[in-house]
Structure 1
């Protein structure tokens, strides 16, 4: 069987938009404090564009901080879910490689869990084009806290199932990945946070990742059933604490 392409993986979220919106983790207030600190300006009143906005998890938080925010989302299913959940925030169709935005029109561009779907050789010049003088580009990812024993054990099961190296992928979230040509200087911050959820929500979150969405449904269902049994042995009350390290990369081109 041919492995799913990068494009296939990027588009797979559209059919699972409601699951994504219901189960994916949010982001902590300290992340947005760090963005404002590194950008050198408050989010309140700033013109912000959240790119690859998905169902609007980060966009809504930027809006709540007082930012004048617009979302850019390429997927029809994700954009429709965004509009259902956030009818008061504008969202336009587009992607980071060819932004549907005017030159010098934004103070801050944000990519929450979305930069890896771009081609940096195209997305970085687009960011520079759209940003106003003194503006900033912020990229971030929620990553699993692999020093937490149960999370490390669960990650190893996922690694065996998918043939991934989660620890290596986390280490590779760095300035070189953000900008392979190393044209811009990125500052890196990490913010740890956690949320308490049911085992079912945790599994729905896991199943909403592209690596699972592109798999055969029966294969994914079998793995998640087995994973539920593992987790309930550790958390018999059916509630667990997911712990995350948000990795933030920010540059002022």
Structure 2
């Protein structure tokens, strides 16, 4: 695992408290494309983190097992989801039996794998006709203030030669996410949430680009961003706009 991938372990509580969840339409779309319900399906949620997606899958009635490599994230997962099985491992070497899953899901996690290893592993663990689902919550740049903030992030991180979160290969529809032998179908699902300005900035700070940046530089950006957004949202409430990029393929 890279230093950037492991950076979440020290910020697991911040991640769990401030990251956005996913809209019900995402799971509806997943079931539609897979041609079967999640209820009673065997689901492996890989790179489960603190369990944001896992808990939704469980609530939908799936018999879900989480797979998570990080110590801090796994500890936070167990605090939040004591009744859901968790095994330690990563997508490149799944600690799961062959042909044991109806669904394998990667929520915000596929980009931390080596697709040349993770692809064959997913196909090994999936049953015939099972579904591999990859998705990412990305900021919706059709909102003017979101696009402006993204531009500030890019300008800020240029100095440190760090690519900010939500860019490049983390979006759906890229060849980088392809798996030999699988044909993906893509969907985009918009959603919003209203949060306090403090939650918005804490969510931003839970992304790996800031976690590897260091406290001083992170504080520099967040102080400036707080001033700008306080003028834009004087009541202290921010409406965050997202698009979930979903890619699903049947084995």
Name the TM-score class by shorter chain.
Answer: over 0.9
Are 1:229 and 2:232 matched, yes or no? no
Which range moves more in the overlay, 216-225 or 168-177?
168-177
How far off its partner does 1:216 sit? 1.9
Please, what TM-score do these two structures have when normalized by structure 2?
0.95
The answer to whether the 8 A contact 2:171-2:245 is kept is: no
Q: Secondary structure at the match of 1:195?
A: strand
- Distance in 2 between residues matched to 1:12 and 1:120, nearest whole Å: 21
- Distance in 1 between residues matched to 2:8 and 2:51, nearest whole Å: 13
How far off its partner does 1:221 sit? 0.8
Distance 1:200 1:118, change over 3 A: same
Q: Secondary structure at the match of 1:243?
A: strand
The answer to whether the 8 A contact 2:138-2:244 is kept is: yes
Alignment match, 1:78: 73
Are 1:155 and 2:150 matched, yes or no? yes
Are 1:206 and 2:201 matched, yes or no? no
Distance 1:167 1:32, change over 3 A: closer
- Distance in 2 between residues matched to 1:49 and 1:103, nearest whole Å: 12
- Distance in 2 between residues matched to 1:173 and 1:40, nearest whole Å: 21
Alignment match, 1:58: 53
Are 1:34 and 2:29 matched, yes or no? yes
Q: How does 1:165-180 map to 2 (within 5 A)?
A: 169=168, 173-179=172-178
Q: Secondary structure at the match of 2:2?
A: helix
Q: Secondary structure at the match of 1:250?
A: strand
How far off its partner does 1:167 sit? 8.1
Alignment match, 1:14: 9
How far off its partner does 1:177 sit? 1.6
- Distance in 2 between residues matched to 1:75 and 1:166, nearest whole Å: 19
Which range moves more in the overlay, 60-69 or 153-162?
153-162
RMSD of the TM alignment (CA)? Answer: 1.5
- Distance in 2 between residues matched to 1:66 and 1:75, nearest whole Å: 26
Alignment match, 1:187: 185
Distance 1:169 1:220, change over 3 A: same
Q: Secondary structure at the match of 1:72?
A: strand
Alignment match, 1:131: 126
- Distance in 1 between residues matched to 2:165 and 2:208, nearest whole Å: 14
Q: Secondary structure at the match of 1:70?
A: strand
Are 1:49 and 2:44 matched, yes or no? yes
Alignment match, 2:247: 249
The answer to whether the 8 A contact 2:119-2:180 is kept is: no
- Mark the runs of 5 or more structure 1 residues left unpaired by the alignment: 1-5
Distance 1:20 1:245, change over 3 A: same
